[in-house]
Amino acid sequence: MWIFLALLLVPLIEIALFIQVGDLIGLWPTLATVILTAIAGTWLLRLQGGDALRRVQHILREGGDPRGPLAHGALILIAGVVLLTPGFFTDAIGFLLLIPAVRNIVIAELARRVVVRTMSQPREAGRGGPGDVIDAEYDVEPPQGQDIPGNSGWTRRD
């Protein structure tokens, strides 16, 4: 039901804002503003998205918990999508999501509402687990009924 309301209300809000802003500053300045906010949003998205990716990579290298940076990265991605959507309302939402303090509030609110459940399975004896090293040797054999790879007849070997 919430998605239906959003899909109904957001375009109506955008149309109303386009009419109001166009009436206030004119058609061409309104269109220029929409284009400039899309350009600025794209630039900020690339800047912050790259930073978020580097933070996730750093935390993964250190063996830390990547949930926080991943959540920030997801919200930055959402910000980018709504910034590329033409309109003043969606631009306001997108620019707000690019502010780290706002993202922290959104993440905290979502964390209160989301329940995470995990499942684990006991390790069986003799089965390798994370960190276990299995030493093995192998030979690559062609599938039954096929020639050895690289022996197609199209190349001449002297």
Residue 19 above 90 pLDDT?
A: yes
58 vs 133, residue with greater confidence: 58
The answer, yes or no, to whether residue 69 has pLDDT greater than 60, is: yes
Residue 104's domain comprises 14-113
Please indicate, yes or no, if residue 146 is contained in any of the structural domains: no
pLDDT tens for residues 46-56?
A: 888 888 888 88
> Does residue 2 form part of some domain?
no
Confidence tier at 18 by pLDDT (50, 70, 90): very high
| Residue 92 within any structural domain of the chain | yes
- Write the pLDDT tens digit of every residue in 70-92: 898 889 989 988 888 889 999 99
Three state DSSP letters for 114-134: CCCCCCCCCCCCCCCCCCCCC
Answer yes or no: is 40 within a domain. yes
What pLDDT score was predicted for residue 81? 86
**Is the predicted pLDDT of residue 128 greater than 60, yes or no?**
no
Q: Are 48 and 101 in contact (CB under 8 A)?
A: no
* Number of structural domains found in the chain: 1
pLDDT at residue 139 in the model: 75
Give a yes or no: residue 119 inside a domain.
Answer: no
70 lies in some domain: yes
pLDDT at 42: 83
Which residue in 111, 114, 115, 83 sits closest to 97, CA to CA? 83
SS3 state at 63: coil
pLDDT for res 28: 94
Q: Tell me which of 102 and 142 has the higher pLDDT.
A: 102
Q: In this model, does residue 120 exceed pLDDT 70? A: no
Residue 22 lies in a domain: yes
Classify residue 83: in a domain, yes or no.
Answer: yes
Compare 145 and 78 and report the one with higher pLDDT.
78
